[in-house]
Amino acid sequence: MALTPEQRLVVERVARLTRERIAPRAADYDLAAQNPVESWRDLWREGYLAAVIPRAYGGLGLDMPTYAAVIRTLAQGCANTAMTLHMHSTVMRFVDALGTDAQKRRYFDDVVRFGKLFGSWGSEPAVSLSRTFLMETAIRRVDGGGFQVDGVKHFCTMALGAAYYMVWCALDGEADMGKALLQALVPADTPGLASDGRWDTLGMRATFSPSVTFTKVRIPEDATLGRPGAAIQVGVVESFGLGYAAIYVGVAEAALAFAVDYAKKRIVRPDNAAVAQDPTVQRHVGELDARLHAARLVLEDSAQRWGEADMVERGLLGNRAKFVATEAALEVTSRVVQVVGGRGAYKEFPAERAFRDVRTATLMPPTVDRMLEAIGKSALGIEEGMFRFGGGPQGA
């Protein structure tokens, strides 16, 4: 993908920041399962927390090709920092698409001037977002104005770290998600939020995503985005999948680069030759390089076409990029451990962390089955978006 000199400069700056500041911290944050707070601060100082905020509001206003390249580059050093930046940036896209002028000024200023982060909480213990986009967390109007939110959210990324959480809710009593779905921007210090604090996972440990319970959480009238149902009609939810694809590709690229460097430097006896001279290793590396190159091309093509695509096409672009990146990253990170050998299992080396992060990251919706179903329907001329939006009983 050909980037302009200005776009390349943006990517080169984040590459340097990742190499010098963010990557060296990744293992420690992973081990502690803590939010990468210092890395977030570095991203803010360099303007990347405002990556997708329009320039009129002080942001970088990155187009999708540049944004995907930034997320992919960041993921080469720290998958968790890349994932949390992507979640935050997607909330910024929703604010831009659905927010009032007053909301944009307020929330964008909080990011640009003060480095505030925004999480997106959609998952729920009893709901599969891959099968149907159904929310059981209820939002209802209350006497005296404003809303009350009640429910339980699962995998609450950046809990105890972000300043606001965009909570996906359903209007109480409305079964049709097309009319019920509403996003509430809840400040982190709002009374009524409680977390079990449990987050001890295989991978993506520094995204710190425990469950959170909402009990009579009160928010003002101007803390919701757009009209009910609008969130699924603006072509933003589909960008989750494209960003995930960029993360998976970046993690796999870093893993393969580690394996290549190891193979070049590791000398074995009795031949006194580098591992890279082994034809078996050459075939493994060649296959992984080809798989990763294909995934990168699909990602870049999808990002390039994003700006002119409608909502349905964006769903296809996101699904296709995420599916190809998922399969490639799983294969690459797994085989890299095999190529490196026993040292690949040591936590002091990045291959082990890359394998764990990709293995858990791919559980994020839409899953492989859902992506293939949607891609197949598109190929058969059956129009459908990235997610299904089903009805059903609501309530907290």
The string of pLDDT tens digits covering residues 34-57 is 999 999 999 999 999 999 999 999
C-beta separation of 247 from 75 below 8 A: yes
Question: Could you tell me the two tokens for 267?
Answer: 């000398």
Q: What is the CA radius of gyration of the chain?
A: 21
93-131 as b/e, with b when 16 or more CB fall inside 10 Å? bbbbebbeeebbeebbebbbeeebbbbbbbbbeebebbe
Q: Give the Cα separation of 373 and 239 in Å (integer).
A: 18
Instruction: Determine the pLDDT at residue 391.
Output: 42
Q: Indicate if the alpha-carbon torsion angle 360, 328, 70, 59 is positive or negative.
A: negative
Section 338-353 average pLDDT = 90
Identity of the amino acid at 189: D
Q: Looking at 51-55, 123-127, 349-353, which range is the least confident one?
A: 123-127
Gap between the Cα atoms of 220 and 295, Å rounded? 44
> Buried (b) or exposed (e) across 306-330, using 16+ Cβ within 10 A?
beebeebbbbbbbbbbbbbbbbbbb
pLDDT band at 132 (very low <50, low <70, confident <90, very high): low
Mean pLDDT of 80-108: 98
| Average pLDDT, rounded, for the chain | 93
Average pLDDT over residues 108-135: 86
SS3 content of the chain, % helix, strand, coil (to 5): 55, 10, 35
Q: Encode pLDDT of 150-207 as tens digits.
A: 999 999 999 999 999 999 999 998 878 788 999 999 999 999 999 989 999 999 999 9
Among 259, 249, 231, which Cα is nearest to 293's?
Answer: 249
Q: Percent of the chain having pLDDT more than 70?
A: 95
Cα–Cα distance, 108 to 284 (Å, whole number): 46
Which domains, and CATH codes, for the chain?
5-117 (1.10.540.10), 121-230 (2.40.110.10), 239-379 (1.20.140.10)
